Amino acid sequence: MVSNQPSADTMVPTVEFADANSDLTPKMSARNVCVYYGEKKAIDDVSIDIQTKYVTAFIGPSGCGKSTFLRSLNRMNDTISSARVTGDINLDGEDIHAMDVVHLRARVGMVFQKPNPFPKSIFENIAYGPRIHGLADGKQDLDEIVEKSLRRAGLWDEVKDRLQESGTALSGGQQQRLCIARAIAVDPEVILMDEPCSALDPIATARIEELIDELRGRYAIVIVTHSMQQAARVSQRTAFFHLGKMVEYGVTSDIFTNPREERTKDYITGRYG
Amino acid sequence: MAEHTVKAFDEDITRIRGLIAEMGGLAEVAVQEAMEALVNSNEELADSVVVRDKKIDALEVEVDKLAVRVIALRAPMADDLREVIAALKISGVLERIGDYAKNIAKRVGRIEGRKPFEPLTLLSAMGEVAEEMVHDVLTAYGARDVVLAREVVERDHKVDAFYNSLFRNLVSFMMENPATISSAAQLLFIARNLERIGDHATNVAEMVHYAATGDYPPEEE
């Protein structure tokens, strides 16, 4: 059974894994979202709730729309002139399309597939955001934010003695953690990650996964990944996308041991055409 | 079921299922022939059941190795994962069924004075029910037949009822004929073995159900 109409069942999976201190009001909610590139409908009527303290994984074959949908959550699609988004996307109940986009992206941060540090010092990479958003009150405050962000990203000990070196001189895994530190420096509520480990080796990947797990206590995290094992390891909820539709959304352990939809099963078991 | 993109994965799963089927066939025959040897006091047949148990043990090791390899190399998911986990557990259970059959066979030579007596008839009827459970659960495994698997689960109480009645029967038989206590005690152990075989057939049925649906069959009270 695949319904395109949002129902309580498909938008919010059963909360059997919710722990006592979890907040079940959605941080972000999308209703009947469609994304078009020119005439082409890339996302077809997707409705989903994203909660704080949970990692939500988007999985699906290439071209299924999972990254497109992720990018619509902080209006990255605005930068593509042919892209058009319909439907409602709310952050804490507020329409994101009515918000100032710079402010929105501070609240909904993003980490990309390839680490993309600014060609500036490690310090400046982190300090840039808080500075332009006016979050730091003086140099000392800025120093604290930089240290706190690097600590949370698990990078502080590795870079504390060379903060003035270029961010691009770090290894790939360190660069990606630098980008995560940069995203959390502006104190976001949601972090979107678009295949954050696909350019990293297994050790660097494990460190990012460990980091995601530590960060989820504080933020709502949405991760797009091609690695099914990664989705199974890091997320508590998983949404499967196929041909622009969200086919199934549920508790991660259910999706990977006993998916309800045949298409989900075929994909995760490696039977997809 | 659609094929995997990686063909070797399908071959591994097929191979595991084949090994389980082979083990099951051997275990089924072992139970059947152990009971036949008992009823006909055929010690030669009993010995051959004991010898052939080694083959079942060897197959269990093979299933375990292959299942571990599939988990390590292919990271199976969803129904594939359940299939492999079920195979691991089923192979252990079938090995136990083989052991019980071997144990029955070993007792054949220890029963003295072969004049037919009533408990033996009851025992052979009990054996038939247990054999059928093993047979049907293997059919259910081969066909992924959830309905038949549930039916096997429901049949377990029959074997239990046989065991209870045989127990009473044998105890009174021993009281009436103290000279037969040693033989009757052997029969009591055999009844116990058959009861355990029924339980293990039920375990296999539960795993067949789990592999096919992701859930265990509903508990019966």
Residue A123 has pLDDT above 70, yes or no: yes
B4 close to A (CB below 8 A): yes
Distance CA A3, CA A45 (A): 10
Q: B220 lies in a domain?
A: no
Range of B13's domain? Answer: 7-213
The beta-carbon neighbor of B2 closest among A232, A266, A268 is: A266
Percent of chain A with pLDDT over 70: 91
The beta-carbon neighbor of B78 closest among A229, A256, A272 is: A256
Distances from the Cα of B88 to the Cαs of A250, A269, B11, B57, B204, in angstroms? 28, 19, 17, 13, 11
Q: DSSP of chain A, one letter per residue?
A: ---SS--HHHHS---TT--TT---S-SEEEEEEEEEETTEEEEEEEEEEE-TT-EEEEE-STTSSHHHHHHHTTTGGGGSTTEEEEEEEEETTEEGGGS-HHHHHHHEEEE-SS----SSBHHHHHHHHHHHTT---HHHHHHHHHHHHHHHTT-HHHHTT-TTSBGGGS-HHHHHHHHHHHHHHT--SEEEEESTTTTS-HHHHHHHHHHHHHHTTTSEEEEE-S-HHHHHHH-SEEEEEETTEEEEEEEHHHHHHS-SSHHHHHHHTT---
pLDDT for A10 equals 45
pLDDT digits (tens, 9 = 90+) for B91-142: 999 999 999 999 999 999 888 765 656 777 889 999 999 999 999 999 999 9
- Contacts of residue A269 in chain B, CB cutoff 8 Å? 4, 76-80
pLDDT for A273 equals 53
Distance CA B136, CA B156 (A): 12
Distance CA B204, CA B211 (A): 10
pLDDT digits (tens, 9 = 90+) for A141-182: 999 999 999 998 889 999 999 999 999 999 999 999 999 999
Q: B199 lies in a domain?
A: yes
Per-chain mean pLDDT for chain A: 89
Binning pLDDT at 50, 70 and 90, where does residue A255 land? very high
Write down the domain spans for chain A.
Answer: 25-116+188-268
* Cβ-Cβ contacts under 8 Å for A139 (sequence gap 6 or more): none
Q: Which residues pair with A35 in a beta bridge?
A: A43, A85
Residue B146 has pLDDT above 70, yes or no: yes
Which of A30-39, A105-114, B17-26, B179-188 has the weakest average pLDDT?
B179-188
Inter-chain contact B6–A266, Cβ cutoff 8 Å?
no
Residue (of A174, A210, A176) closest to A55 by Cα position: A210
- Contacts of residue B75 in chain A, CB cutoff 8 Å? 228-229
Binning pLDDT at 50, 70 and 90, where does residue A2 land? very low
Which of A9-13, A143-147, A176-180, B145-149 has the weakest average pLDDT?
A9-13
Inter-chain contact A271–B81, Cβ cutoff 8 Å?
no
How many domains does the structure of chain B reveal? 1
Q: B58 lies in a domain?
A: yes
In terms of pLDDT, which residue wins out, A161 or A20?
A161
ipTM associated with this complex: 0.70
Q: B29 lies in a domain?
A: yes
Asked if residue B150 lies in contact with residue B209, where contact means CB atoms within 8 angstroms, the answer is yes
Q: Which amino acid is at B133?
A: M
- Contacts of residue B80 in chain A, CB cutoff 8 Å? 269-270
Q: Which amino acid is at A24?
A: L
- Which residues of A fall below an 8 Å CB-CB distance to B? 228-229, 232, 256-259, 265-266, 268-272
The encoded tokens of residue B207 equal 């795993």
CATH fold, domain A25-116+188-268, is Rossmann fold (3.40.50)
Residue A88 has pLDDT above 80, yes or no: yes
Per-residue pLDDT, averaged over B191-213, amounts to 96
| Alpha-carbon distance A227 to nearest alpha carbon in chain B (angstroms) | 11
Inter-chain contact B5–A256, Cβ cutoff 8 Å?
no
pLDDT for B113 equals 63
Q: B2 lies in a domain?
A: no
Per-residue pLDDT, averaged over B12-30, amounts to 96
Inter-chain contact B3–A266, Cβ cutoff 8 Å?
no
Q: For residue A271, give the chain B residue with the closest CA.
A: B4
pLDDT digits (tens, 9 = 90+) for B68-78: 999 999 889 99
* CATH code of the domain covering residue B74: 1.20.58.220
pLDDT for A5 equals 41
Percent of chain A with pLDDT over 90: 74
